[in-house]
Each structure stands twice: as C-alpha cells, then as structure tokens.
Chain A
Amino acid sequence: MSTWTLTRRDLLRAAAVAGVGAAGLGGIEVVHRMTTEPRAAGKTVGAVRRVASMCQMCTTACGIIANVKDGRLLTIEGNPADPNSRGAVCAKGVAGPSILYDPSRLLYPLRRVGRRGEGRWRRITWDEAYTEIADRLRAIRESGRPEEFAFQQGRNRSTDIVARFLDAFGTPSAFNHRALCSLNRRAAILTTIGDSDWDLGDYENSRYILNFGSNWAEAHQGHIPVATRMMRARERGAKIVTFDARLSNTAALSDEWYAVRPGTDGLIALAISNVICQEGLWDREWFDRWTNYPAEKYAEHVRAYTPEMAQAESGVPAEAIRRIAREFAGATPRCTTICNRGSAAHRNGFHNDRAITVLNALVGNMGEEGGWCWHPMSAWDKKALPEPGPIAPKPTARSLIAEAKDWPLANAWQSNKMRVGEIVYLWIKQRRQRISALMTYNCDQAWAWPEANLVREVLADEDLVPFHVCLDVMASETSNLADIILPWTTYLERWDIDSRPPQGLVDYVGLRQPVVPPLGESKDLREIFPELARRIGGGMEHYFPWATQEEYFEQYFAPVPGGFGHMREAGVHVDPAKKPNYLPYEKELTAEELEGTRTEDGVIHGPDGAIGVMVDGTARRGFGTPSRKVEVHSQFVNDRGREADRTISPLPVYEPIPGHREQLAQGRLIMISFKWNVHNAHRTLQSKWLQEISHTNPAWLNPATASGLGLAHGDWIEVTSYRPIDPEVPRGDGSQLGSLRTRVHLTEGIHPQVIAIAHNAGRTTGGPVASNGRDRAVLVGHEPPDHGRVWWAGSLSVAQNDILPIYPDPVSGQQAYHDTMVTVRRIEGGA
C-alpha cells in the first residue's frame, strides 16, 4: 500500500480541473420526469406478470411460473401444465429469487491480477474476455490438437448448445459428472432392457414399492414428480418399504424402513428373488417368454442368496425378507422397485442395480400399469423436434481421459456419455493427457469432487492447466482458481429447450425462458459460444447462423402447434395423441416394418440392426437389447469386461466390498453422505432462505456405536478416512487419506456400522451465507447493525469431499460414494 493520502486540496483541485461535481468525468445522472402530479407513496406500479419457465435449482427441471413486477422477480410457483411436476414445486424451487438476487453473485467478467488463486481480480469488458479466450482456443484448434481444450461441466441443461460448440471446435474432451451421479444405475438398466437408462416406476398406480436407497423425497433426479406420485399412491393404500442405511425423510415417509449396511442392496434383492423362486411366487411364464435366461436356471443362480445370508450381511431380518418377497410378488403387476444412489453409488453398484432390475422381471411387472416402467426418451422427442441445422460433425480427435478405457462399461453405450469424472484431475496430474485450456461450466469440482484437495492442487498448477476459464453464477472454490471468470446467467435469466424423463410415461418438451433480464453483465452460453465461435473462426462460425437466441428457438419449436409463441405462453407442450409407454415390448411389428428384414435365432434384423423378436410365433418389438429380450444374462457386459481384462459376471451377483468385512471387524465404520431436502450439493448454499432452514452437518452415529466409542451427543470427533483395499482401484492400497473434525449427532436412524455426513456443507468461499460466516471477506468491517444477517454464523459446517477417496467401480467407473472406511475418535475442543 502506498503512503499517498488524498487530501481535501487534491479533491478540490480535481473538481476544479476535471469538474467532478459537474459530472465532467461521467457519473450517474438524475433527471426530472414530466409528471402531472406526484404519486402517492406505496402505490403499486404496474401489474404482476406471470411467466412460465422451468426450474433448475436441482436437476429435476420442474415447470414453474414466475411472478414478476416492474422487472423484478417476486415469487415462484409450480406450473400446473407441466406433466411431470403437475404444479408442485419444492422448497429449493421457491427459493429461486434468493439465488437470482444473491448479493455474492458473479456479475462482471473478471481477470485475475497476480498469481492464480491469490484472490485479486479486476473487471474486464466482455470484448477483452472474448478476445483473450478466442485467441487461446484458436491457437489450440489450429495446432491440430483440439483435445487439449477440455470442457468440465456440472449440471448441464443446455446440452444442445454445449455439444454444438464442442463438436464445432473438434474437442472430445468433454468431462461430465455422470460417474459421480448415476452411472451404475444407467449402465444396469441399459444392460438389462436396452430401451432406456432410466426406470420410471408407475408409482402412482402401484400398490407395493420396494425402495432400495433412493431418497426421492429430498434429492432424487425425479424428486418432485416421483415424490408426489408416491404420496398419491400411499393415500390410495400402497405400501412403501425402504432399505437405506439412514432414516432419510423418504424412509420416514415409508411404511417400513430397514437400516441396511451400505453395499448390500443387491444381496437383499437377490434374497427376495430367491424366496420368490423357491416359493413359486414368480411369473415364470413371463420370465421365460420375455427374458433371455430360463427361470429355472435363474432360480438355481439365486439359490445361494438365502435370506439368512442377506440378514448376516445387510442386517435386514431373514423373516422380513421372506414376508416382503411374498407381499411384493402378491401385488404384481402393480408393484415396482425404485433405486438410486443408495444402491448404485458403490463399488458393487452395477450388480446391485442389475439384481434389483431383474427382480421386476421375476414377477412380470415390467411395463405394466402400476409396475416397473420406463420411457425410451430421456428428454423431448428429438425426431419430432430436431435440432436446427447445420449440425457439426462429431470430433475425430481422441481423449484418453474421456474414453476412460480402464472401465469397460464407462462409455459402452455411445448415446450415453458416461465419463469417469472422478479420475479426470488425477489423470491430468499424472500427465496422461495434456490440457492447454480448461473451461469450467456450472461446476465446482474444486469443492465437490472426491479428493477435492487434489483437484485444487491441479487447478492451481499453471503448468498442468495453463489457462482456466470459469463460467458460473457464483464465486466458488473453482472460480478462485480461474484466470478469467465469466458471469453466467441464472436459470431465471436464460433460454433452454428442456425436459426430463417423463414420470407420466408420455414425453413432453419444455421451455426455459428469461423471466427477468440478465442481472449485471451476466450472459448465457447461448450468447457466449456463438460469439467465441465467430472470433475463433476457422469454420466454427457456420454452426451458429442465428442472429438471436429467440430466432434459434423459433426454429426449434416450429413443429409445436402454436410454435414458439405457444411455448412462451404455456412453457410446455405434450402431444395429446401420445399414450403412456405401457408394455412397449408387446407391440406387434407391422408388415411394413417387417419388409426386408431377416430373422436369426428369433431376433428380427432390419437394415439398421435388430428391430424385434419372434415370441410364440408373433413378431413383436421386444426390448432394445441385443437379444430383444430382458437380458438377465448379459454376454455384452461379459465381453466388454474381457476386452478390458476385467471379469464382469453376465448374471446379477453380490460382490462384497473388498476389505469391508475385515475392517468392520476391526471397529472401523463405513462413511456415507447424503443431501438435505433444501439443498442441492453446494449451489443452494448461496440462498439465505435455504441456509436459514438447514446450515449444519454433524455426523450421524447410532447410540450403540457411540457408546462403544465413549461418545456422547455433541462430542467433537475426528473422522479419518482410508483408501480402499482394492487392487482394481487406482491407489487402492488402504492407506490413510485424510481427516475432518466434526460433532456427533446421536440417532437411532442410522445403521450401527455407519457414520453419515451431509455433503452439502463446508464451503469456504461464496460469501458468509454460503460458508456460515467462514468467508469473512464480506464481513470485514461490514458487520450489519443487528448482527442478524447470518445468525447461524459459526455453525458447524464440514466439507466431506476432501476425505472421500477417488473410488471408481472397476466395472463402470461410478464413484463409490458410500464405501469409504473410517476410524472415529473423540477429541477435545473444536474444529
């Protein structure tokens, strides 16, 4: 800091020289309006405008209506026209305005001053930002190594524009977070039925629902659409049984809850299957007709998985397993399973979800009303609403990291980009693929990734990542490590075509539109990418011929009756001629469809591949698998495994988590993570409204466990994590990884061998609301008069991700979030 001090004389001289007071240097101007009479104080000006759009506080993308007055968003409510959410919206959705008007938002392009991570920034113009980024990217593209430009996305609801830009650039280095989310579930369902990677149980019409670790009341990708249908079913007398290591709010809304040891969900499903087979409760006829494996042989396969074995491993009483098996089978076809990260985010998650999926085949409920259903479209009908051309060709360059060939099922299905997200920064550190520029979009990998400290180390290293642009709404641990920050619009200030897997089993399309103009100088990708493409040149610009975003969407929505205008008005469109996707496999193929086909081993092949299967002498559509049947036995995964030198059982099996039994016997615990209903990982921590509801995350421990460790409620503990003992996992040597300090929350609502910590906490940046006052930058000399702004400042808020090991399932690459072994010891004092 210099010693120069502005004197009053300096000021007066400046005013005299440059006319500051007369606005000679430019300033805010005040002008008088010509008004006939002063208006009364407090009188409302203008009417409330209702704008239909789509939420993105989480990934469920519910339909919303924004109430806007005088250009300011007042409130958000659900859009009854949305066929998925049907007018319901959760607490996160209601809190949208607090994200839009978050005082800590990023609203201006910034360039770092000094070294990366130092925290000094200056504003730059968009023109400066575009120029620097385009110069960098053009050089990479012209070098002939486009894969050196990497794009790291978090939740991406603008898939069309992102793919368009990356494809036009020619980079295959598009990294997503699927392996941190739902990879195993998707892989299991694709393997088994082929039609879809996402099951959509017809819950509302179901009478019995077996829930394997899905927290649909709080955090599931289908959150509100699923939860509202579940509750409707329960009102009608349906029974919900939940297996979960923790008494989640979903478990609390169920009729029965069983605290299971993590990683044993598949075994429970296999034991239930065994009971169903042994007691003849199955729909054997359906199984033999519609699966590729004889029922008798499957009964033999599951015979080893006895309820007693399942009890010993999972903790669920054998008698309960028998009773549930009978009840489940007795309700068929109006019964279904649901599963998600509780079963899938494990080292053995692929097989867990395979076992659960096949359980449905055993009782013949697949595709039935009230049964286990799905829809072939995970988004809108892309044949009816094709992306406006010209479409860029797919990149021909290769990305070692994106391909992730060590994991045989990671990219086994071309249409599903199942990157192994958790290994990206480890592999960059190991210099397996050179990265010359990284663009981070709506992602805080430096906080949210397993071993987030490793991600921070890599992002801070200008040799490993020479240029880093971060595009986000909020300041984050990741934006702190950028060279340029681009302020992104919130979902309330931008356009998207969007829809989710249709819980009503009829596809639909929605429009996300700006409900207010972008705040500050924020911009969306849909404005940034076309401009960058123009400046990079080299042909990229040809893929962005639209003058405005509205022009693009007018073209996109032209096939919808009423076109773009209808979408702007209603926010959503459903084709009334379409029917729910019940029993799609039964559909008989028409003579026209059969023309020019050939049949081989019962499978009907057209010019573009298999289109159906002969069943009892009738040509039917069947399933989207190679055999056109439910693949209880998958030669495909077995072959993929062999190619990667990995053994993947073609049948659903239970594979205990390596090292768990031994370490549990030594008194170690399994650490799991979870989300609260008002939070969506870290992004919602910016919302004061939501943080007021939930802002702390002590460790859940069972009283029996705590007693053995000499712990009482509120005690401080140190939790130390260990890498897996697993030769098939990178660095799986069982070594100590890291520790965190937290406090104990005693509850019977947790399995005795488990410690659970909510992972939506522990932010260190983003302002005082997000960080429980830990980010003092705002508070320095800025304490509000009533000290009430962040009344929970100082509350316990612990980041779990730093001590979660990078732990990909060797089969698929899914991050095993719920298999971390830890020791717990009492400590004195605080964090």
Chain B
Amino acid sequence: MNGDVIMLMSRLVSTEIDAPLREALGCPEPLEDLSAEFCRLFVGPRPVCPPYASVRRGEPMIGGRAERRLKEFAARHGLDVVVPPGFAVLALDHLGVELALLHHLSPGPVAEELLDDHVRPWALGYLRSLEESARLEPYASAARWCREEIT
C-alpha cells in the first residue's frame, strides 16, 4: 500500500488545498476555486460527498454507530487521533481519520482489521462516488488511486 496516496487522500478530504500543497502537486487551479470545490464536496452547504461513514451508511446523525465502533477500535489498540485546528473533521468516522489510522498501522494485522471492519465497507463506494462527483483535480484522481490502494 502506497502511504503517500493514503495520506494525500486523508488530507484532501480533511482541509482545503493550501498554497504549498497546490505548488507541490503542480495544480494550475486558483486557490479560491479549489476551496469552493472542497466546500461543495465535503463541507457544504449541502455537501455532495460528506466524508463520514455514518452519513454514507444512512445513519440519521453524523458520528453515531460508525464513530462509536471506530472509537472502540482505537481504544482497544491504544490509539489517539490528533486533528489539527482548522480541519473540517467533526467525528472520528471521517475518511481522513480512518486513512490516517490506516497509514499509521500499515502494514500489519491491525491495519487489515481496520480495513475490513471499518474502511472498506463504506469507503470503496464512497471513493467511487467522489471520483464521479469531483469537478476539479486532484480530487477525482486521488479518489481513484486511493480506492485502488485499499481494494
């Protein structure tokens, strides 16, 4: 599994692309357009692809059972998650959190447990939807590569 792809995706769904990342990616789009695309996809109003397992699975509330299960997983393995200020992460069932955990644990049996029990059941379909819905790069390509990495 390519850790760079996983961590790039984790970051892309968690916060806007800033100037250094835009430059590193060689992205020609203006920062404001990239920010608007981030909002449209992940934050809203009316986000197209809210990156939460709970929402994807049809739970009426963000977080909920999906977050509770992930919290239990993290607690069982003695893991804490530190979300930087400004990241648009409301609950731990956020794709960015799950991918960060995956990156941290890979390779190994705990990473496989995370993938099988928490990530794959929703993220494969989600990433396909994101690839279809994104209007700007790098979101579509990153979603495709990330899906290939975790399949």
Contact = CB atoms under 8 A, between A and B. Distances in A.
A777 B41 CA distance: 9
Contact of A6 (B6, B81, B138): B138
B44 interface: yes
B35 A766 contact: no
B120 interface: no
Nearest to B126: A782
B8 A14 contact: yes
A423 to B, nearest CB: 29
B46 A767 contact: yes
Contacts of A100: 61
A123 B132 contact: no
A452 to B, nearest CB: 18
A687 B78 CA distance: 35
A127 to B, nearest CB: 11
Contact of B24 (A20, A519, A520, A780): A20
B133 A4 contact: no
B141 A5 contact: yes
B29 A4 contact: yes
A110 B39 contact: yes
B26 A13 contact: yes
Interface in B85-125: 86-90, 96-97, 100-101, 103-105, 125
A384 interface: no
Given A6-B137, A122-B39, A475-B45, A27 B32 contact: no
Interface of B is mostly: helix
Contacts of B27: 4, 6
Contact of A11 (B5, B63, B87, B104): B5
Interface stretch (A32-40, A153-161, A226-234): A32-40
Contacts of B24: 13-14, 17-18, 20, 25
Contacts of B141: 5-7
Contacts of B28: 2, 4
B66 to A, nearest CB: 12
B26 to A, nearest CB: 5
Interface in A748-793: 765-767, 769, 775, 777-778, 780-786, 788-789
A28 B87 contact: yes
B88 A28 contact: no
A106 B72 CA distance: 28
Given A1-B135, A784-B56, A778 B88 contact: no
Nearest to A479: B45
Contacts of A45: 71, 75
Contacts of A519: 90
* Interface hub of A12, A13, A28, A777 (most chain B Cβ within 10 A): A28
Contact of B62 (A14, A103, A769, A780): A103
A104 interface: yes
B43 A123 contact: yes
Q: List the 5 shortest-distance A-B pairs measured between CB atoms, nearest first.
A: A101-B61, A688-B60, A475-B45, A789-B58, A6-B138
Interface of A: 1-2, 4-8, 10-15, 17-18, 20-21, 23, 25-35, 38-43, 45, 70, 72, 97-98, 100-108, 110, 113, 119-123, 125, 475, 479-480, 485, 519-520, 687-689, 765-767, 769, 775, 777-778, 780-786, 788-789
12 contacts: A11-B142, A13-B26, A25-B18, A31-B81, A41-B72, A101-B64, A103-B61, A120-B40, A122-B35, A777-B46, A778-B47, A782-B133
